[in-house]
Structure 1
Amino acid sequence: MIPLGSSPRNQWLVSATEVDLRRAPLAERPLTIAAAPQRVTLDLARTAIIIVDMQNDFCHPQGWLGHIGVDVTPARTPIPHLAKLLPHLRAQNVPVLWLNWGNRPDRLNLPPKLLHVYKPSGTGTGLGDPLPGSGAHVLEDGSWSAAVVDELAPEPGDIHVAKFRMSGFWDTELDSILRNLGVTTLLFAGVNVDQCVLGTLLDASCLGYDCILLEDCSATTSPSYCFDATIYNVKQCFGFVAQSSAFLDGMAG
């Protein structure tokens, strides 16, 4: 019998005369962590982390936000926490997914409504436009602008998904990838926590995934009350909130 499937977690066994639809069982790897509103036990074998928009245009001083006068210092606060956490998650075979904004060069995946958000008067530097100085096109897939910041350089085994909406589930392959990986629990990190992180987490919750927001691995350049409201609403309605240290302590134990 020959394995047939893109992921070892979701494969048939086939031959010329037979097909076995049974998936190989995953050995449970339970982990109990401190979280809010309650302590949580999850299965690392069915967990993935989604890191949203930790890209040069959002987090580098010479990126797009820096160019238009936004202080990106808050957006950089997740970097040391993620740099410490990700090697431990990879060592536990937890899939690492980079969910990054990535426009097509021709911007045909962007409706006028999205272009208007970032270029309301039709002037200035908006999505896909070249940055003065570097010439890098804003959040264009494959460009320096859309790349993950150097401090969080992805590993070869990581998974990349380009998005072009606030939610990473709209018009992308994210849900298909997660289902092929057999994932039921999602850890969320990145920026902006009140916009793309929350938008993706809300859709994940509506799709039936268990959602845990990593508070110290998330940030926003919005006013602080936006961060506070996001934390409140996730705990109240959409999942759980935890610190990366809870995972590090649990995996170390």
Structure 2
Amino acid sequence: MSDPENDQISLGASPRNAWRVNADSVDMTRQPAQSRPVTVVDQARRVTFDLSQTAIIVVDMQNDFCHRDGWLAHIGVDVEPARAPIAPLQRLLPALRAAGVPVIWLNWGNRPDRMNLPPAVLHVYDPDGRSTGIGKPLPSNGAHVLEEGSWAASVVAELSPEANDIAVSKFRMSGFQDTELDSILRNLDVRTVLFAGVNADQCVACSLHDANFLGYDVLLLEDCSATTSPAFCMQATLYNVRQCFGFVTSGEAILTAMEKDT
């Protein structure tokens, strides 16, 4: 008969990286997940990755960037391009969750006191010191721009993060700078990262570059990414990803490949 007091229990934030322990023993072996290869095509090249070691990072699909009452809209930017990834992500994310792929929401979410932000970051968005920059209230609803916990930093309602999704706040263009993102990915035993969100040529690209520098395999999802920058910026981003950092595919291609696998 099993003795509950001596049974080993799982110790770890992620089942993918946990020990089995009791008072007398520690089992540090990890059980490898069953491989689930998925193959997509990037131009003429077939690319296969393992869903069991994959996560998707959705960058900055938040009210300040994608809502018609958010910060970008307030300063005169047309946010309709930034809303383009919503529908593709609505199709893709449920399928990834069902396959056990972690969904990570990576949003600008600064400290209210902005103590970790140097003037160089503040100046980009508040060049005269009198504009509606980071941490200042939006005239339309009073939400503080890009501030953690505010409406401005929340994911747009159309995408509705679920309870088991993971949220990470970032403070620079790259989500790896001064955040816990790398530790979370390693705790999840992730090798491949799918990137989606806005702006593709700015925060998405910077985060993707850093993921590559840290040794992750990266794929940019073209239909699940967008930018409010000129079209040539997106074209350059796609070129640079393929040339230097990883591969480009689409959410629809992944859905099709997953359907073939089942």
Counterpart amino acid of residue 190 in structure 2: V
Whole-Å Cα distance in 2 between the matches of residues 67 and 133 of structure 1? 8
Residue 59 (structure 1) aligned with residue 66 (structure 2): yes
Task: Tell me how far 1:61 sits from its aligned partner.
Answer: 1.1
RMSD (Å) for aligned C-alpha atoms: 0.9
* Correspondence 1:111-126 to 2 at 5 A: 111-126=118-133
Whole-Å Cα distance in 1 between the matches of residues 45 and 166 of structure 2? 30
Counterpart amino acid of residue 56 in structure 1: N
1:231 counterpart (234, 238, 242)? 238
* Correspondence 1:31-180 to 2 at 5 A: 31-36=38-43, 38-180=45-187
Structure 2 counterpart SS, 1:178: helix
Residue 212 (structure 1) aligned with residue 219 (structure 2): yes
Largest Rg, 1 or 2: 2
Whole-Å Cα distance in 1 between the matches of residues 81 and 23 of structure 2? 57
Residue 11 (structure 1) aligned with residue 18 (structure 2): yes
Whole-Å Cα distance in 1 between the matches of residues 184 and 66 of structure 2? 26
Whole-Å Cα distance in 1 between the matches of residues 72 and 9 of structure 2? 50
Q: Any gaps of 5 or more consecutive residues in structure 1?
A: none
Whole-Å Cα distance in 2 between the matches of residues 203 and 34 of structure 1? 23
Whole-Å Cα distance in 2 between the matches of residues 183 and 71 of structure 1? 35
Normalising by structure 1, report the TM-score.
Answer: 0.98
In the alignment, is the contact (CA less than 8 A) between 1:47 and 1:183 conserved in 2? yes
Structure 2 counterpart SS, 1:93: coil
Instruction: Name the structure 2 match of 1:240.
Output: 247
Task: Tell me how far 1:105 sits from its aligned partner.
Answer: 1.1
Task: Tell me how far 1:37 sits from its aligned partner.
Answer: 6.0
Task: Tell me how far 1:212 sits from its aligned partner.
Answer: 0.2
Whole-Å Cα distance in 2 between the matches of residues 237 and 150 of structure 1? 35
Normalising by structure 2, report the TM-score.
Answer: 0.95
In the alignment, is the contact (CA less than 8 A) between 1:131 and 1:138 conserved in 2? yes
Task: Tell me how far 1:30 sits from its aligned partner.
Answer: 1.0
Structure 2 counterpart SS, 1:51: strand
In the alignment, is the contact (CA less than 8 A) between 1:51 and 1:98 conserved in 2? yes
* Correspondence 1:14-29 to 2 at 5 A: 14-29=21-36
In the alignment, is the contact (CA less than 8 A) between 2:69 and 2:140 conserved in 1? no
Counterpart amino acid of residue 7 in structure 1: S
Change (3 A) 1:65 1:54: same
Q: Any gaps of 5 or more consecutive residues in structure 2?
A: 1-7
Whole-Å Cα distance in 1 between the matches of residues 25 and 102 of structure 2? 31
Counterpart amino acid of residue 35 in structure 2: E
In the alignment, is the contact (CA less than 8 A) between 2:137 and 2:144 conserved in 1? yes
Structure 2 counterpart SS, 1:152: coil
Whole-Å Cα distance in 2 between the matches of residues 220 and 41 of structure 1? 27
Counterpart amino acid of residue 149 in structure 2: G
Identity over the aligned pairs, expressed in percent? 66
Structure 1 counterpart SS, 2:201: helix
In the alignment, is the contact (CA less than 8 A) between 1:100 and 1:163 conserved in 2? yes
In the alignment, is the contact (CA less than 8 A) between 1:35 and 1:243 conserved in 2? no
